Amino acid sequence: MQKTILVIGATGMLGGPVVHHLKNNGFQPRILARNKEKAKKLFDKSFEVVAGDVNDTSSLETALHGCYGVHISLSPETETSGVKNTVMISSQQKLQRITYISGATTFDPNARMPHTQQKRRLENVIRESGIPYTFFCPVSAMENLPFMVRGHRASVIGRNPPPVHWFAADDLGRMVALSYSLEEAKNKKFCIHGPEDIPQVELLRRYCDVFHPEIKKISKTPFSMMKIIALLSRNEGLKWNIPLIAYIEKVGEPGDPTEANCILGPPTTTLDEWLEIRKTRLQTATG
């Protein structure tokens, strides 16, 4: 019998690839969705979709029933209550595995950052449950690039964003799915780096060359301005990530991916490969 893995956050940027790779690895992914119809448009009929919300414990109990494991990938607004509710019910139902998308800076040298403190508290909630876990701490996903373009303007945040190892969400999805099959991945915390360290301005320039050739200049938006934009737009995700981006600009890219690469195999998708894949998918979607 296939082991069922509930995926929380399946319709998000990092969640979809996890669903597909779980299925490819012989698991039965179950998708928790607040909007069931939206999820059904993203996943074909071979995937199980259940309506529910991490803040509705009744629907969460139903979704977790009979599961072997649960993958958690939540936005900052729902993460604290969502992780706590999921862990509580997972313990009651005696699940065997939890995977969780934590933060790039959740290692000891960065413990004072508010973003880091919340993530570390939630890691401890999972550890204390006694359920075998695997934490994933990625830096920057290439899937964020489209959000750096607004109209005819492309901009990076900060004065001098340093090179970081941007990764493809599909690579992360493969690593998460594989971790469910490996004893060596139990009770591990993995730092995830992509195969290339590329300055953010160059990264966005190459993205625009393919998808927005009309944009000739990459702007740099100061942190102070981004804070105002986040406040006025009520963008909690942006508001949450500004201190993280500022921290990385100040001290550089955190973490060591050696153990993750050794156990799970390193991310391999280069920027050029990701751009070609995205271009093909967009062409297919538009006919």
User: For position 124, which CATH number holds?
Assistant: 3.40.50.720
pLDDT tens for the chain, 287 residues long, are 789 999 999 998 899 999 999 999 999 999 999 888 888 888 988 899 999 999 999 999 999 999 999 999 998 888 999 999 999 999 999 999 999 999 888 876 666 666 678 889 999 999 999 999 999 999 889 998 998 898 888 988 877 778 889 999 999 999 999 999 999 999 999 999 999 999 889 999 999 999 999 998 998 877 677 677 667 666 655 666 677 777 777 777 888 999 999 999 999 999 999 999 999 988 887 76
Q: Is 245 part of a structural domain of the chain?
A: no
DSSP-based three-state secondary structure for 4: strand
Residue with tokens 């009770």: 187
Q: Is 32 part of a structural domain of the chain?
A: yes
Q: Is 284 part of a structural domain of the chain?
A: no
Q: Strands 133-138 and 188-192: what pairing?
A: parallel
Q: Is 262 part of a structural domain of the chain?
A: yes
Containing structural domain, residue 173: 4-140+167-193+254-268
**In total, how many domains does the chain have?**
1
Alpha-carbon span 166 to 195, nearest angstrom: 8
Alpha-carbon span 140 to 237, nearest angstrom: 14
Q: Is 129 part of a structural domain of the chain?
A: yes
Q: Is 157 part of a structural domain of the chain?
A: no
Burial of 99 per CB tally in 10 Å (0-12, 13-18, 19+):
buried
The pLDDT assigned to 282 comes to 86
Q: Is 202 part of a structural domain of the chain?
A: no
Alpha-carbon span 267 to 166, nearest angstrom: 10
Q: Is 220 part of a structural domain of the chain?
A: no
> Do 177 and 22 meet the contact criterion of CB atoms below 8 Å apart?
yes
Burial of 49 per CB tally in 10 Å (0-12, 13-18, 19+):
buried
> Do 29 and 5 meet the contact criterion of CB atoms below 8 Å apart?
yes
